[in-house]
Amino acid sequence: MILESRVYMRIIKIIIIVHIAILLSGCWDRIELARQSIVTGMAVDKGKNSKYRLTVETTEAREMTPKTTSGNAPSNVYSIEGDTIAELTTKLNRGIATHPIYSHMYILAISEEIAEEGLIEFLDFVDRNREMRDDFNIVVVKNGSNAGDILQVINMYKKSASLKLARQLDTMEKDYGAAPDLKLNDFVRVYNAKGQSPALPAVRLIGSAKKGGNVENSKSEAPDTKVDVESLAVFKQGKLVGYASLQEVRYLLFVQNKIKTTTLSTNCKDNKKFTYEITHSKTGVTAKEKNNVPHFHIKIRTEGYLDGIECLENFTDIRSSEMLEKKLNSMMEKNIKAFIQKASTDFKADIFGLGEILRDQDYKQFKKYETDNTWDEAFAKSKIDISFHAEIKRGGLRTNRFNESR
């Protein structure tokens, strides 16, 4: 009996293995890479004859690496017009021979004209689409060029315009703090929030889009055409309402506790400047409503070192550091408060997320704004107290200016 049982189990195992082998060796759903193209960037403009003009950038893998390049264009840019983005993504084969794959998209560029009319109509498709991931960057392309034009600009750092811009945004956010790291999933979350409005990086094309697509542009040390991160696009109810400067973007990220590192410069004496490089930053916000007026206390603490100074000071004296810290504190408190005031009056939008903080800390009072959808009006009358504390840990490699003794 034991022998028969073992034989029976062995037969069962063989049958299972055979069935698995048959199922796994099928090729009905195979994908040949030669017939696919990776979409790295997408741009949306107003169409001339239809509602939208969709532009996509697909990469040519062989031209992306030095060993296999043949000198041809590293990417292909194609545009098509239609009335819905969903329709256009399936019609691209009018001009592209391969099947487009959207799972590795890095950039979604939107023209200023489209942004002013509203993003939600086509972002709904992008958010629902199962082929697209939700971790790509969204940028607004300022007037003067089409959104599709920025997908044509290649350079020596990245042969794909989309890959270059994605790396550019990431580096700028980490090194200078002037580009909010807002992916599609973040934009949708903030858009649906009752106590915050979204803001996106804004870029501008410098030069000719036609020249930017030439291989020579990528070989030039000083390219004729480039894409600059220029400002911050502010949205309210899904529509573009204005722009903030790069300097003001940093004030936004300070309040949101998203500054990784940056540099601040201000006067020290006789209109001479000094520069403070921040290595650590921490922001805490407390919120409470009193007498129907929201109150916020924003406390920002930073640590860093002197990165350059024009004043002749002895930094072995603690009073010198304290004097510079006070100047930094005063400047930043004034500038951050001014930008919050600008957001409440010019944009009438809480891009800082203070409403969401009030919602978390004092929901009983925030509930009425959530029900009536009136937080932006309450934000305009809020009382905001800002405390900025800079701590200079060291003066770089020197305690004094190198020419103080001359």
Domain span holding position 186 = 33-246
Q: Do 345 and 232 have their domain in common?
A: no
Q: Do 228 and 304 have their domain in common?
A: no
What is the C-alpha to C-alpha distance for residues 54 and 48, in angstroms, rounded to an integer?
A: 12
Which single residue is written with the structure tokens 């009335």? Answer: 83
pLDDT of residue 221: 66
Strand segments (E) across 160-261: 199-206, 226-236, 239-245
Q: Do 236 and 110 have their domain in common?
A: yes
On whether residue 24 sits in a domain, the answer given is no
DSSP state of 223: -
**CB atoms closer than 10 angstroms to residue 132:** 21
On whether residue 10 sits in a domain, the answer given is no
Q: Do 138 and 268 have their domain in common?
A: no
Which single residue is written with the structure tokens 């070192």? Answer: 305
Q: Do 94 and 127 have their domain in common?
A: yes
pLDDT of residue 406: 47
On whether residue 22 sits in a domain, the answer given is no
Mean pLDDT, the chain cut into blocks of 10 residues (406 residues total): 68 81 67 77 93 90 64 80 89 83 92 92 82 89 90 78 91 89 90 94 86 64 81 94 95 95 88 90 96 95 88 67 91 97 95 96 93 92 96 67 51
What is the C-alpha to C-alpha distance for residues 96 and 74, in angstroms, rounded to an integer?
A: 15
pLDDT of residue 390: 95
What is the C-alpha to C-alpha distance for residues 125 and 90, in angstroms, rounded to an integer?
A: 13
Q: Do 47 and 192 have their domain in common?
A: yes
Q: Which of 246, 273, 291 is the last residue of a domain?
A: 246
Q: Which of 190, 218, 246 is the last residue of a domain?
A: 246
CATH code of the domain containing 366: 3.30.300.210
**CB atoms closer than 10 angstroms to residue 209:** 18
Q: Do 207 and 330 have their domain in common?
A: no
Q: In the chain, how many domains are there?
A: 2
What is the C-alpha to C-alpha distance for residues 65 and 318, in angstroms, rounded to an integer?
A: 54
CA triple 199-301-194, angle to 5 deg = 30
Q: Do 96 and 227 have their domain in common?
A: yes
Both tokens of 203, joined, read 């870029």
